[in-house]
Each structure stands twice: as structure tokens, then as C-alpha cells.
Chains A and B, each alone.
Chain A
Amino acid sequence: MMLKISNLQARIEEKEIIKGLNLEIKPGETHAIMGVNGSGKSTLANVLGGREEYEVTGGSVEFLGKDLLEMDPEERAREGLFLAFQYPVELPGVLISYFLRTAYNAIREHRGEAAVQVREFNKLIQEKSKLLQLSPELLKRSVNEGFSGGEKKRNEIFQMAILEPKLCILDETDSGLDIDALQIVSEGVNTLKQEDPERSFLLITHYQRLLNYIVPDYVHVMIDGKIVKSGGKELALELEEKGYSAFQSSSAA
């Protein structure tokens, strides 16, 4: 099992957001969680990433057989969990290449592998940047500083390509992307899916649009901190057609 979430409950500042969520993701599967703003889907991403402000009040999460909630955020990352941020932060003065090499080597060290030197790493960067059609100029800049919204999102997937995680969580990666950018990002993700058939994906999104490009195995509808309905990729279309309100009542029932 890649990820097993059982009866997860979490809150932020005394406000219950996730109210008993269950989800299982097997290696190689792609799941999509869809929900309106405030349904708790981004909270789920943050809880899985290990953000401190979110307090887990109940339930458990297993990641590759280990207790995820026991781990620090950096440990989760080193174990292979990657979160593509909805709002990637800027790190002024920190070069992307330096940032990524530090991350890359921290993960290698965790696996008991030798650190990679600058030259070798730069080759890797050049290679992977083509995949996301990131200009080499961008890579010489500080992390996300002065990037457009689309560049920031592409940079997230680029980092994902470099760090080669086992589980990729994409938190509203499609928001704020135009069609061209959405295609580039999706192609990047699809390449990563093919690259390692064991790699799993959890797509968190508001709209069905993204799922035209990255086809999920399962779709879950999240309302008020719970998954109210799960199904195949056709569920996303149904949702698009009927709207979330149709499912709202089923959650109340």
C-alpha cells in the first residue's frame, strides 16, 4: 500500500476541517480529490505534507507501511512524499540549482547514497528542465522569485521530476494556469507517471479540466471534510454536469 488514511480528523485553530476521512492509494494509482473551496481538500494536502499549523486530532495515516504522522515534514519528503504547492513561496537570493541540489542530496543521504557533485547535478537539471520547457535562464534565478503563476507551477513539477518521489500530491496545480501551461504541466506529470509505474499521484482540484489531461484511476468527491462519493474517472464528468450541490445532499443524508 502506498498510502492508507483511516478516519483522519484534523483542525486548524480550533476549527474542525477534516472529519473522518478514509482513502487508500496503491502503488501506481492516480487518484483525484475534487471539492469546492472550504471542503478541506487543501487541508488534507497540508496535513499529509506535515504542516505544523494543522493539528491531527484523530485517525491514522500510513505511508509505505510507516506512520506518516510521526514523521517531520523533511522526513516525509525524504521517504518519497512530494507536495506540489498551490502557492509556491519565493526564496529571494536562493538559486534554484542550489536549493534543489541541497534537497536532492538530503534525500540521497537519507537513502544512504553518496552526495552528487555540482557538475553532475547540473547535467540532470538541464535534462529535466527540457521536460517542463523551463528556460535555462529561469534556472539561474532565485527560487520562484519574480516568476509568473505558470512558471511557479511548472517549477513545482520540475522539482518533482528531479526529486523522483514515490507519492506526488498536487494541490490545485491547475489553478491559475492557462491552457498552454496546463498542457505542459500535464505532460510533465504524465511523463513522471510512465517513468516509474509504481509512482502514485493524488490530484487535488476544484475543476474537472485537469483530469482531461491527467487521467485518474479514481475520483473522490470531498464535502465538508469527508469523502462523500468515490468512483472512476466518469465521476468527474458527472460532477461537472450536476454540480457539487447534487452531492451536498448525499453528505447530509
Chain B
Amino acid sequence: MSSDTETLENFTSQDYKYGFTVDIEADELPTGLNEEIIRALSAKKDEPEFMLEWRLKAYKKWLTMKSPEWAFLEIEPIDYQGLKYYSAPKQKAELKSLDEVDPKLLETYERLGIPLEEQKRLAGVAVDAVFDSVSIATTYKEELHKAGVIFCSISEAVREHPELVKKYLGSVVPYTDNYFATLNSAVFSDGTFVYVPKGVQCPLELSTYFRINAQNTGQFERTLIIADEGSSVSYLEGCTAPMRDENQLHAAVVELVALEGSQIKYSTIQNWYPGDKSGKGGIYNFVTKRGVAEENAKISWTQVETGSAITWKYPSCILKGDNSVGEFYSVAITNNKQQADTGTKMIHIGKNTKSTIISKGISAGTAQNSYRGLVKVLRGADNARNFSQCDSMLMGDKCGAHTFPYIEVDNPTAQVEHEATTSKIGEDQLFYCNQRGISTEDAIGMIVHGFCKEVLNELPMEFALEARQLLAISLEGSVG
């Protein structure tokens, strides 16, 4: 087992240490952040005036803000002037074939069942011209077009559908929202835009994989999904394979607009580089995700978080309309020196609103895993109901699990339930499995999967299996 961990860690650290050297690309803006940079960024993207103004307002606001310190995280100060805010297309040193890729990395891809061409993309190998990714994407686009669904990059949406962007961008997460969201509003690089028209059930599972140029969304990703009245859509972001990424700071914003009677299901699998065993390197993931549900609408967040050195993320639902429903299903795994402070906010405004929170936190190594959740029932939210269940699992005795539930109820007819458990994956359990002939790796996978079942069941089918294997790999060598 320990040799497995070493291999796994070796390959991740190696990759990031010297595997990929970045060619300096001509189309870049200088390092640092100021008004000029933002103007230049907006100009390069050929954005309409309203977009630039919005970015500048956000930037001015950001200058007056301070990085939040309330989370249960230890964060090294970030040098915002030391970052580059525009570099497109972000050129990474392309490898010529899979032969040049670290075999350990390939082995992991194989174990995760990643198709060969996808492996190339992830490892940064030039994809063959023969590969029909374009044709897949084209077929895909045609089908969506027929249904009237708009699915494109946010940059494209800003240019092609300014009326929708203008109406909804910042309507859920205003540019003044918080330090990281405000920074994102000023400098967002790219991201996804989805619009599903009235009454349309989106015919396909939308995933970033099928969006051309999805690879290089950069570190300030912006996503906006609008489900018009009576429509429904399921969107999956991320990938179970270790992503090659040199950016240390990721500050994304996701806004979901669920209009009357619509449904949005948003699933995330996040497996960014967590840093090496000593905590060096690794990605800081500071994300603001929020949705507004109008009358009879439903928003469902499902997340499997196994990567990043630091995760700061609280996908939230504002249950504005009567009878609206919010759900949050989360698995967060932290190993070695990883830190996660994640949870959700359910804000009940409308009558008969319902929310469900199922959070599973798994800690191994010396990692810290915190659940932080707010359930707020406003005065007018008659008969609001919430059920929260937060379970933590510890592996070994050097890690930590913490639960910070905040419950604010302003309506006497509301029903709010909170359950929390902490358990330990025991030597006993592993020995029991071993004694039946089951390897430790499979045993951990099995036990962790059993623990997370309610959440994994919420994932789209094709990702459930990958997620299961990912859990096992993320925790390898953490016991015994």
C-alpha cells in the first residue's frame, strides 16, 4: 500500500514540478492587476461596453474588500499582483505522444477507465487530427440547437447573446458579493453559458467535455445557467482524472437561475492537484456557487470534491418562490495536508419551500475537513422544511473533521432537522475485508463508497463508477 501511495504522489508531484514547462505565448497581458489590465482584457475578448463597465465596478469594489478569514483554513497570503490575468489561448507545452507522458499518470487514467483520446487531452498531448472530437461536438451541438438550447462559452455568450447575459449575469451572485466572487467578476477569463428555453427538457446531459475549448477556461471561471419556465437541465462540470493545471488560485463563480417550474441539476467532480504530501503546491479553490429557485422550481447540487490543497466552497440555494426545492449532496475527501471548508446555504424565502442537505466528509492523513452550512428560514416562509445530515469519517488519528451548522429560523411553522455523525474507518473493518480475500485498496473503496452512497447515487450514471474508483485512489495508503 505505501508503495502505491508513493507512486501516486510521485507522479502528481513530478508532473507539476518539471513535467510541463510553459512556453511563453505572445498573446498575453503583463503580470499584475489594475484598471488598464481589465480594459485590455475586455478589449481582447471583444466585449460590449456593458461588460467592461461591470468588470470595472467589480474591480473598484474589490479594492475595498479584504480576504475572508472566518473559514477553518490556513491560507498562505496570495500575491494578486504576481498573477497573469490574461493568457489566451493558454499554451501548455504540448507533448508529441503518450509515450512522453509519465507512465504512472497513464496507469491512473487506465484505472479510472479514461478513454485513450481523453487521456491525451488531460496529459497535454496534441490530439490527432483523426480524432473525431470535433464531429462528436458537432453532432452534439446540432441536437441542442434543434431543442433551442444555447450551450457555449461565456465569452461567446457575452458577444452573441448580450441581452441574456446582461439580464442574468450577477443576478444571483452580485459583483459585490464576496472577495473572491468580486475578483472573479472583474477578471473572469471564461466559462460556460447555458440557456434552456421555456418548457424544454434538455435532451442531453451537458458536460464541459463537449464544449469546445473547455480545456482552457483559466483560473477565473464563470458559469451562468438559465432554465426558463418549465424547463429542465442537468450539467456536469469537471473530470475524475487528475487535471494538469499550473494555476495555483482558482476563484470561480457559478450562477443558476431556475425560473418558475424549472429544474437544474448541477454535478461537480473536482480532482485538481492537491499538493504533495508535505502540502507544497496544490490548488486553492475558492468558489462561489449559488442558485435562485422561483416558484415550483428545483435546484440540486451534487459534488464530489477530492482535489485541491484548499477548498472553500458553499453551493447555495435561494428558495425564493413558493414550493421551490433545494438539494445539496456532497462528498468531500481530504488527504495528507489538504484542507476543505465546504457546505451549503439554504435560504427559505417562499412558502412550502423544502431543502435537503446530505454531506459526507472524509479525512485522512493530517487533513482538515469542515462542513459549514446555513439553513435560514425567513419570516414569510410558512411551512418551510429542511433536513440536514452531516456525516464525517476519519481515517487514522491525525486528521480532523468539524461541523459548523448555522440555523436561523424566523417562522414558527418551519421544521428544521439536523443530524450529524462521526465514524472512523477502522483497522477492524479493513482486517475483516482482508480476511475474506479483499485487498486493502478494494476494502477502502468499498467502505468509503458505502459511506457516501446516498450522494454518489445522485451522480449521473456514467460518472458514478468513475467517482467510486476516484474515491479509492484518493485515499490509497491512508490507512495502515
Interface residues of A (CB under 8 A from B): 49-53, 72-74, 76-78, 82-83, 85, 88-89, 91-94, 98-100, 102-103, 106-107, 110, 142, 159, 163
Q: Does B435 contact A (CB under 8 A)?
A: yes
Q: Which residues of chain B have C-beta atoms less than 8 A from A106's C-beta?
A: 436-439, 442
Q: Which of B202-210, B369-377, B403-411, B425-433 contacts A (4 or more CB under 8 A)?
A: B425-433
Pairwise interchain contact A98-B480, C-beta atoms closer than 8 A:
no
Shortest distance between the CB of A99 and any CB in chain B (Å) = 7
CB distance from A169 to the nearest CB of B (A): 10
A73 and B434 form a contact (CB under 8 A): yes
Bound together, the chains give a CA A99 to CA B432 distance in angstroms of 11
Pick the contact of B427: A52, A74, A93 (CB < 8 A): A52
A74-B438, A89-B426 known; A51+B450 contact, CB < 8 A: no
Report B's interface with A, CB cutoff 8 A. 423, 426-429, 431-440, 442, 446-447, 449-453, 480
Q: Which residues of B contact A82 (CB under 8 A)?
A: 435
Known: A52-B480, A91-B446, A92-B450. A74 touches B440 (CB 8 A): yes
Q: Which A residues touch B450, using CB under 8 A?
A: 91-94, 142
**Whole-angstrom CA separation of A163 from B438 in the bound complex:** 12
Q: Which B residues are CB-close (under 8 A) to A76? A: 435
> Which residues of chain A come closer than 8 Å to B428, judged between CB atoms?
89
Selected contact of B451 from candidates A49, A51, A89, A92, CB within 8 Å:
A92
> Can you give 17 A-B contacts (C-beta < 8 A)?
A73-B431, A74-B435, A76-B435, A77-B434, A77-B435, A85-B432, A89-B426, A89-B428, A91-B432, A91-B433, A92-B451, A94-B446, A94-B447, A94-B450, A99-B446, A103-B436, A103-B437
- Complex Cα–Cα for A72 and B453 (A): 29
User: Which A-B residue pairs are the 9 nearest by beta carbons?
Assistant: A93-B450, A73-B434, A103-B436, A77-B437, A94-B450, A106-B437, A74-B434, A78-B437, A107-B437
Task: Name B429's closest neighbour in chain A (CB-CB).
Answer: A89
Could you tell me if B447 and A110 are in contact, using CB atoms closer than 8 angstroms? no
Complex interface: chain B residues within 8 A of A107 (CB): 437
Contact B432 A52 (CB under 8 A): no
- What would 20 more interface pairs be, CB under 8 Å, given A74-B434, A74-B437, A89-B432? A51-B431, A52-B431, A78-B437, A85-B432, A85-B435, A88-B432, A89-B428, A91-B433, A91-B446, A92-B451, A93-B449, A93-B450, A94-B446, A99-B433, A99-B446, A102-B446, A107-B437, A110-B437, A142-B450, A163-B436
Q: Are A83 and B446 in contact (CB under 8 A)?
A: no
A93 pairs with B436, CB closer than 8 A: no
Most chain B Cβ neighbours within 10 Å, of A76, A93, A98, A107: A93
Give the docked Cα–Cα distance between A49 and B432 (Å). Answer: 10
Q: Which residues of A contact B432 (CB under 8 A)?
A: 85, 88-89, 91
Please measure, in the bound complex, the distance between the C-alpha atom of A100 and the C-alpha atom of B442, giving whole angstroms. Answer: 12
Q: How far is the CA of A89 from the CA of B438 in the complex (A)?
A: 15
Give the complex CA separation of A163 and B437 in angstroms.
9
- Chain B residue at smallest Cβ distance from A74: B434
Question: Which residues of the partner chain A approach B449 to less than 8 Å between Cβ atoms?
Answer: 93-94
Cα-based distance from A107 to B442 in the complex (angstroms)? 13
- The dominant DSSP class at the B interface is helix
Smallest beta-carbon distance B444→chain A, Å: 11
Within the assembled complex, what's the spacing in Å between the Cα atoms of A85 and B434?
13
Q: Known contacts A77-B434, A78-B437, A99-B436: does B442 contact A91 (CB below 8 Å)?
A: no
| Nearest CB on B from A193, distance (A) | 21
Which residues from B are CB-within-8-Å of A110?
A: 437
Residue of A nearest to B454 (CB): A93
Instruction: List B contacts of A98 (CB < 8 A).
Output: 446
Name the distance in Å between A109's Cβ and chain B's nearest Cβ.
9
Nearest Cβ distance between residue A140 and chain B, in whole angstroms? Answer: 14
**Cα-based distance from A100 to B434 in the complex (angstroms):** 12
**Interchain CA distance A92-B453 in the complex, whole Å:** 10
Most buried by A among B423, B438, B440, B442: B438
- Of chain A, the residue at the smallest CB distance from B452 is A93
Chain A residue, CB-CB nearest to B426: A89
Bound CA span A88–B436, Å: 12
Would B431 and A102 count as touching, CB distance under 8 A?
A: no
B438 partner, pick from A49, A102, A142, beta carbons under 8 A:
A102
CB nearest neighbor in B for A100: B436
Contact of A73 among B435, B446, B447 (CB under 8 A): B435
Measured between beta carbons, the chain B residues less than 8 angstroms from A94 are: 446-447, 449-450
Given known A-B contacts A98-B446, A142-B450, A91 and B429 have beta carbons under 8 A apart: yes
Q: Within the complex, what minimum Cβ distance (angstroms) separates B448 from chain A?
A: 9
Task: A92 to B424: give the CA distance in the assembly, Å.
Answer: 12
In whole Å, how far is A252's beta carbon from the nearest beta carbon of chain B? 34
Question: Out of B434, B439, B442, B446, which one reaches A50, CB within 8 Å?
Answer: B434
Q: A51-B431, A52-B427 are in contact. Are A91 and B436 (CB under 8 A)?
A: no
Q: How far is the CB of B478 from chain A (nearest CB, A)?
A: 15
User: Are A50 and B435 within 8 A (Cβ)?
Assistant: yes
**Contact: B436 with A159, CB < 8 Å?**
yes
Residues of B with C-beta under 8 A to A93? 447, 449-453
With a CB–CB cut-off of 8 A, which chain A residues contact B433?
A: 91, 99, 103
Distance in Å from the Cβ of B469 to the closest Cβ of chain A?
14
A95 (CB) vs chain B CBs: closest residue:
B450
Contact yes or no, A49 B429, CB < 8 A:
no
A51: chain B residues within 8 A (beta carbon):
431
CA distance A85 to B432 in the complex (A): 8
Min distance, Cβ B239 to any Cβ of chain A, angstroms: 25
Cα of A102 to Cα of B434 in the assembled complex, Å: 11
CA distance A85 to B435 in the complex (A): 10
* Among B442, B451, B452, contact of A102 (Cβ-Cβ < 8 Å): B442
Residues of A within 8 A of B426 (CB): 89
Complex CA distance for A82 and B432, rounded to whole angstroms: 11
Which listed residue (B434, B447, B480) contacts A91, Cβ 8 A?
A: B447
> Are B431 and A49 touching (Cβ within 8 A)?
yes
Min Cβ gap B56→A in Å is 51
What's the minimum C-beta distance from B390 to chain A, rounded to whole angstroms? 15
Q: How far is the CB of A29 from chain B (nearest CB, A)?
A: 22
**Measured between alpha carbons, how far is A92 from B451 in the docked complex, in Å?**
7
Pick from B426, B442, B446, B449 the residue with the most CB of A within 10 Å.
B446
Residue pair A83, B435 in contact (C-beta under 8 Å): yes
Nearest chain-A residue to B448 (Cβ)?
Answer: A93
Q: CA A100 – CA B450 in complex, angstroms?
A: 14
Min Cβ gap B464→A in Å is 14
| Contact for A103 among B438, B451, B452, CB less than 8 A | B438
